[in-house]
């Protein structure tokens, strides 16, 4: 299963490392990553693969949300199919 991770917030050291660590702790592989900065604002989109993970999307989402609250950014994860359906033109 693939999913999309989105991160939005004020740029600060450790954002990418924090999100990557949560994913690695769940054996979720990052297959693609895109980051953007607009002044002090940071956005990141990751495509991740759950192939080797024993965790559920809900478990990973919970840990990402906890991280987001701790470091002051918005973090979400969506199943690839849900993401595609939401962004269909």
- pTM beyond cutoff 0.75: yes
What the chain holds in terms of domains, given with CATH numbers, is 2-86 (3.30.70.260)
Q: Cα separation of 88 and 24, whole Å? A: 30
**What pLDDT, on a 0 to 100 scale, did the predictor assign at position 46?**
96
Sign of CA dihedral 83, 51, 22, 61: positive
| pLDDT, one tens digit for every residue, the chain (89 residues) | 899 999 999 988 999 999 999 999 999 999 999 999 888 899 999 999 999 999 999 999 999 999 999 999 999 999 876 666 666 65
């Amino acid at each position: 299963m693939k999913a999309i991770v989105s991160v939005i917030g004020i740029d600060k050291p450790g954002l990418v490392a924090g999100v990557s660590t949560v994913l690695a702790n769940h054996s979720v592989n990052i297959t693609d990553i895109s980051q953007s900065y607009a002044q002090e604002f940071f956005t990141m989109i990751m495509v991740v693969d759950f192939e080797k993970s024993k965790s559920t999307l809900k478990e990973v989402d919970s840990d990402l949300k906890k991280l987001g609250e701790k470091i002051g950014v918005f973090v979400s994860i969506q199943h690839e199919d849900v993401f595609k359906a939401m962004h269909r033109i």
